[in-house]
Structure 1
Amino acid sequence: MIFSNKYRMRNWQQSYQSTMLKELQDFAFVC
């Protein structure tokens, strides 16, 4: 349970970071 929860959190963090990176790139492109 703890392991799967950790894995899910890491997956969520990775997807969140990649999304933020994409948003920042789009923002920089607009600027």
Structure 2
Amino acid sequence: MKYGYARVSTIDQKLESQIEQLKNAGAEEIFQE
């Protein structure tokens, strides 16, 4: 199983694009903050 981790450090950044890229890379479980 592949795990992914997404986070943003500024208000201008978006989690959605990171999550989409992680899913495309095969991540099955994604943690975000």
**Which category describes the TM-score, using the shorter chain as reference length?**
0.3 to 0.5
Structure with larger RCO (C-alpha < 8 A, sep 6+): 2
Larger Rg: 1
- Larger strand proportion of the pair: 2
TM-score by length of 2: 0.38
Q: Which has the higher helix share?
A: 1
